[in-house]
Amino acid sequence: MDYQTVAAGACGRIGEAAEQFLVEGEPYSIGRYGNGHINDTFLLCTKAPGQEGRRGRYILQRMNTHVFADPEGLMKNISGVTAYLREQIQKSGGDADRETLTLVKTRQGQDYYVDSLGSWWRMYLFITDATGYDVAENQEDFYQSGKAFGHFQRLLDQYPVEKLVETIPDFHNTPKRLEALSRAARADVKGRAKGVERELAFVMDRREEISKVMDALRQGEIPYRVTHNDTKLNNVLLDDHTRRALCVIDLDTVMPGTAVFDFGDSIRFGANTAAEDELDLAKVSLSLPLFKAYTQGFLEGCANRLTDGEIRMLPWGAKLMTLECGMRFLTDYLEGDRYFRIHRPEHNLDRARVQFALAADMERKWDGMKGLAEGL
Confidence of residue 199 (pLDDT cuts 50, 70, 90): very high
Average pLDDT of span 311-336: 98
Average pLDDT of span 294-321: 97
> What is the homologous superfamily of the domain 3-128 according to CATH?
Phosphorylase Kinase; domain 1 (3.30.200.20)
Under 8 Å between Cβ of 144 and 112? no
**The pLDDT of residue 26:** 86
Q: pLDDT tens digits for 248-269?
A: 999 999 999 999 999 999 999 9
Exposed / middle / buried, residue 367 (Cβ in 10 Å: 0-12, 13-18, 19+): exposed
Under 8 Å between Cβ of 111 and 71? no
Angle CA 279–282–287, to nearest 5: 110
Angle CA 252–253–257, to nearest 5: 150
Neighbours of 37 (CB within 10 A): 9
For residue 56, give the nearest of 97, 85, 106 by alpha carbon.
97
Assigned fold of 139-375: Aminoglycoside 3'-phosphotransferase; Chain: A, domain 2 (3.90.1200)
Q: Does residue 54 register a pLDDT over 70?
A: no
**CA distances, 289 to each of 209, 210, 296 (Å):** 26, 26, 11
Displacement of CA 367 from its chain's centroid (Å): 28
Confidence of residue 298 (pLDDT cuts 50, 70, 90): very high
Q: pLDDT tens digits for 14-41?
A: 889 999 999 998 888 899 998 777 899 9
pTM for the full predicted model: 0.92
Would you list the domain boundaries of the chain? Answer: 3-128, 139-375
Tally the residues of the chain: 376
Instruction: Please state, in angstroms and rounded to a whole number, the distance separating the CA atoms of residues 148 and 85.
Output: 13
Q: Does residue 363 register a pLDDT over 80?
A: yes
Q: pLDDT tens digits for 332-361?
A: 999 999 989 899 999 999 999 999 999 999
Confidence of residue 5 (pLDDT cuts 50, 70, 90): very low
Confidence of residue 4 (pLDDT cuts 50, 70, 90): very low
**The pLDDT of residue 183:** 98
**The pLDDT of residue 50:** 57
Domains 3-128 and 139-375 share a fold: no
